[in-house]
Amino acid sequence: MKCQFCGYENERGAAFCENCGQKLSPQSGKETKAKEKKQRQPRPAKEPRPPRQKKESGKSHSGPGGSAPSVCPVCGTENEPGTAFCNTCGSPLPRQPEKKGSSAAVIIIIISSIVLILAALAITIWLFMRKSPDSQSSQAIQNESMTAGSGSITVLTEEETASGAVSGLSETQPQVQPQTQSQTQPQTQPQTQPQTQPQTLPQTQAARYTLDGSLFADGQPVASQTGYILEASNSKYLTEADISHLSLKGICYAKNEIYARHHRKFLSAELSSYFGGMDWYSGTIDVNSFSESTVNQVFNEYEKVNSAFLSKIEEQMGTYQLDL
C-alpha cells in the first residue's frame, strides 16, 4: 500500500507508513488532503498500551543477516528489521545497534600485528646484546695474544736487538730473565744491562763493507751492511732507475754479482779478488761447469732477466775491460 504522504510502498494491510509514520488510508482527493491536514496537526498523547504477547511459531523473525525484529515500545508489535515506524500504531521504533563484529576483528588483527612486531624487535635486541660481550671478549683475547706475541719477539729476536730497533730492551729484559735463570740473576741484570747496551749498539750498527767509489757514477764510496752492489737483483726486475747511480764498472760488477751469488769462479783476477772479500761468496763451482744449462737451472726468473738487462746496458755504455 502506497503512502499518500511520502509515496513509500508499504505492505498490504499496514495501518501506518513505515517510512514517515503517517496513517495510511485508501481514500484520495479532497478527503485524503483533508485527512492529511488533520493528521499533520499535533495529536494528543496516547496512553501506552500493554505489550502484546508474542505468538510462538516455527518461523524465525530475524531479518536478513540474522538481525532481530524491531519491537514497538508502545503496542509491542514486532516489525521487520530496519523499520522506522510501527506498522500498527505508527510510533517511532528504536534503532537497533549496529554489529561491530567486523570492526572488532580488524582491531584485533592490528593489535596482534603490533604485538608480533614488538616481540620480533625485542628478540633482535636481545640477540645483539648477547652477541656483543662475546665479540668484545674474543677481541680482548686476540689483543692479549698479539701483545704477548710481540713481547716475545722483542726479547728473543737478535736482529732487532743488534740494530737497536727495540728501544725499551733494558725495561723488558728483567721481566723475562727471572723465569729462565737463577734467583740472583735478576738482581744484577737490571744494573748492568742498561749500562752495557748503549756501548755495544754503535759497534753493531757500523757497516761491514765499504764499496769502492769507482763502482758509482759520483765516485763516492758507499757503506754497505751486506756487500751487494744491487741487493735486489735476485728478487725484482731491475729498471734503468735502479742502476742510474752506477758507473760502467759498477754495472759490469753488478752483472757478475748475480753469478757470484751462486759461487761461480771467475777467470778475471780482478773479479776473484773483489768477490773473494765477501763472506757470502765461496767460489766453489768451476767456470767450465757453469754452462748455459746450469744457468737455466740455478738462476731464477729475476736473475735471468736482470743478467741480460745489465749486459745490454753495459754494451750501450762501451763494455768495461776487466783485468785478467
State which residues of the chain have pLDDT below 50: 28-31, 54-61, 145, 147-203
- CA nearest neighbour of 93 among 116, 107, 109, 77: 77
CB 20 within 8 A of CB 6: yes
- CA nearest neighbour of 277 among 312, 217, 313, 227: 227
What is the reported pLDDT for 132? 64
What is the reported pLDDT for 37? 62
What is the reported pLDDT for 118? 95
Q: pLDDT tens, 7-17?
A: 888 887 888 88
What is the reported pLDDT for 199? 43
What is the reported pLDDT for 301? 96
The CA–CA distances, whole Å, from 268 to 253, 274, 294, 321, 324 equal 11, 10, 20, 10, 4
Name the amino acid, one letter, at 110: I
Task: Give 263's contacts (C-beta < 8 A, 6+ positions apart).
Answer: 281, 282, 283, 284, 285
